[in-house]
Chains A and B, each alone.
Chain A
Amino acid sequence: MITRRRMLLGTTGVAGALVVGYALWPDDRLARADGLAAQPGERFLATWIKIAGDGLVTVMIPHCEMGTGTSTALAQMAAEELDADWSRVRAQIAPADALFANGALAEGFLFESKNLTLSSIPAFLRGTAADATGAIARYMDLQTTGGSPAVRMTGVYGIRISAAAARELLVRAAAARVGASRGSFHTAMSRVIHTSGQSFGFGELAAEAANHRPSAHPPLKARNAYTLVGASLARFDIPAKVNGATIYGIDVSPPDLCYAAIRIAPATGGKLRSVDEASAAQMRGVRRIVRLDDAVVVVADRFWRAQKALDALRPTFDAGKKAAVFSAALRARQVSALGGKESTTTDLTVGRGVDALGSHVIERLYHVPYLAHAAMEPVNATALFRPPRGLEVWGGSQDALAARAFCAEVAGMPMSQVIFHQLPSGGAFGRRLPGSWNFFEYAVRAAMAVPGTPVKLIFTREEDIQHDYYRPAVTSRFRGSLSTDGRPRVWVNDYTTVDSADTEAHIIYGVPHQAYRAVKIASPVPTGSWRSIESSWHGFFVESFVDELAHEARRDPLEYRRALLAHKPRHLAALNLAADKAGWAAPLDAGVGRGIALVECFGTIVAQVAEVEVAKLGSVRVRRITCAADCGAVVNPDGFRAQVEGGIIFGLSAALYGAITLEHGAVVQRNFPDYPVIRLADCPDIDVHIIESDGTMGGAGEVGVPPVAPAVVNAIFAATGVRLRELPVVNAEIARG
């Protein structure tokens, strides 16, 4: 019999007073979870934490491993609250099942924080919520890894509490055995220890502990008692990444595997017109030629044979309705829309807003291009369609549960008949989030054409770059005016948007009159989340314009920002530390300049100083990036530093070289030679300094990206007097006089 009891999940916050009342929790959940992921001799404790008879602790990770070190950091948080012996702790990627979604955890434990507000939920999820309650409920029912949620949300509000509850159960079991009070025990190194000195291993107690009911309010450790959280422990996943052993999605090999190569209509919305099937059908290894509406797929016994047959097909496509789309025209349309009365998604006014603009208005226009993700592992997926039994899919996804549902929908079968195997991703950066799943769709369709045969569909690099879900091209216009003391008095910002209101445009600086207007313009090509999302463009726009205002006011850009941050001590501290470590005031040779930028996103405040050298003929070399980041508390400092270093380099590739352009509705760029990225030779020295503060824990994966572009562009200005208002830098003419 399934008993149910009502759990209260609640949180109160500012802005929207988030209060969630929830939910009916079937008591058979732990038993079902036992059946799905526990091995004989193991017991599930507290939803996501598994303790085996031999004492091995396994933490189930409801996120993907794409290089961010999430599994290790979450295991650290669990081990800390459990008082587990770190050498006996493992992490396991959770099955794509609702039991292991964040929702299962939400249903089990009190969800409580004064800091969790609507604004701390990633923007791309915020848009799906009808209200605050809906937002958190939807968020918690996903296995999403996007918006830097893993450590700061799953960890802080979930796994940490699960672990503390599990620890309490183990103590309770020991107390029952000895017949002593719970208060006479403490825990250390995976043992429950009585004041008498008698002690029990976690493994010995696991079965008995599982008979007790987990508490919704387990006591949590104080931060100053942490020994594992805050330590730079080695990542679990690294040893298998230095000897080729890690199996990524592209490496899976179920028995009788076939391979699929695909060519998709170059222009978005284009249709497949013709294929020369006769020439390809007889080629060695070819199993099936699959004509889809907008693409053609060849299934063969080897990937290379599939590719050769695809070439032999010489497919032709209609250009579709987007044939008239060119990047230059799109940019011009954005500029004119900002001046017009097109539909706006949001208007926000502070003070008197635009009405406060005086007669001397400083007006500037900025633009960023579309960008591809270009993760190292080209997107791919493997599918096996076996009616009536169901569908099995292997791949890397930034939301395994949603991927399972998506594949079920493509195949037209209930989710219960679909198995999804989550595999590590060779990078993702937003490319594998829900809404960006053409590779899953095509793989399932290819598999449906050859029932009973597993099919691995791999995009070539060219298909990967030309059929991405791009970081949108955006135009932003500022109008500002200064007070007599040089400080900004009015800040007016109009910008284009594909769909959201972009609160990331809102400035942290103290300016009395502000106005924001987001002008909605549909994108002719698909867009998606790209590492740091809206902050990737607004960071550039805002931090460029504030630098321009400093110049207009004849102030040092660092001093100028400082004066506007008197009310923001954490921002000020980050700015000061970056400037200090970079030696902001130290003299530089001719042609070398420093630029500074400060962006807060995903709960972390990041300041960066770029030191840039511009040669006589205008070539730019970024010599050094100095970064200070305040993420509140940090779980694994070395892991955090690695993420920020990586974010800086990712952002720098885009700032210097990145541009996806459209001609006749199709993407021009094809591969790394025309979509260049940073390599060892042009990678600057990078120093990342972590500031630990009492702030709410912030993100790591995305936060290094936004300040790089403005810091570099501001440094180019300092070196040359040339102000770049459009990225990438490589397209600009910068000859210094």
Chain B
Amino acid sequence: MGINLNVNGTSHELDIEDDVPLLWVLRDELKLTGTKFGCGIGSCGACTVHLNGAAVRSCQIPVSAVSGQPITTIEGLGAGTLTALQRAWIEHQVPQCGYCQSGMIMAVSALLARNPAPTEEDLAAAVTNICRCGTYPRIRAAVSALGKPAGDAA
């Protein structure tokens, strides 16, 4: 009857319907509101979280399909401290309204985990999230700076 959900290392037993999208479980049941509702059809990426380390759009995943599997949200990224990626976001003053940025950061961090120095093309192919404020140039700059070896001043 209940669904077991493993989010940010914590296990939750939830009395909810099988078909509720993961997004709404995170937001309304667990109050993890860093994950955002943007389009509800898997198009914009504002709801991006990690499932087994891969970026997924949580508005398209029925909660029953991910029972017991490790899920990470923006709140669980970096375990209490900011990751290098999040620090780069501050350094490059990336966010404007900030609403899409949780999803952006989750999408980019999943990419960097498998490809630490992505080209602009890699980035554009992997990160299809929408930002209406137009922070894309700064996202590129932040990711490019992260991809450079430490000590590379260029």
Contact = CB atoms under 8 A, between A and B. Distances in A.
Interface residues of A, number: 63
A645 B38 CA distance: 22
Given A238-B95, A244-B102, A426-B98, A460 B21 contact: no
A304 B28 contact: yes
B31 interface: yes
B93 A235 contact: yes
A429 B132 CA distance: 9
B24 A424 contact: no
A726 interface: no
Contacts of B124: 679-681
A238 B91 CA distance: 10
Nearest to A252: B33
B139 interface: yes
B57 to A, nearest CB: 12
Nearest to B136: A683
A237 B37 CA distance: 20
A240 B97 CA distance: 11
A241 B101 contact: yes
A183 B102 CA distance: 52
A241 B134 contact: no
B128 A680 contact: yes
B46 A244 contact: no
A243 B34 contact: yes
Interface in A546-561: none
Contact of B33 (A244, A648, A685): A244
B140 A680 contact: yes
B contact residues, range: 35 or more
Nearest to A644: B134
Nearest to B25: A304
Contacts of B128: 679-681
* Centre residue among A378, A638, A643, A673 by max chain B CB count within 10 A: A378
A245 interface: yes
A259 B95 contact: no
A54 B117 CA distance: 46
A234 B93 contact: yes
Contacts, number: 173
B1 interface: no
Contact of A374 (B17, B37, B98, B132): B132
Interface string B38-68: 1111011010000000000000000000000
Given A238-B95, A242-B86, A243-B77, A251 B101 contact: no
Contacts of A681: 124-125, 128
A649 to B, nearest CB: 3
Contacts of B101: 241-242
26 contacts: A67-B98, A237-B95, A241-B95, A241-B101, A244-B34, A245-B34, A246-B98, A247-B33, A302-B28, A304-B20, A304-B28, A376-B130, A426-B98, A427-B96, A429-B132, A460-B40, A461-B39, A642-B135, A671-B39, A672-B41, A672-B44, A672-B130, A679-B136, A680-B123, A681-B125, A683-B136
Interface of A: 66-69, 234-235, 237-248, 250-251, 253, 259, 284, 302-304, 374-378, 424-429, 458, 460-462, 638-639, 642-643, 645-650, 653, 671-673, 677-681, 683, 685-686
Interface of B: 17, 20-21, 24, 27-29, 31-41, 43-44, 46, 73-75, 77-78, 82, 86, 89-90, 93-102, 105, 123-125, 127-140
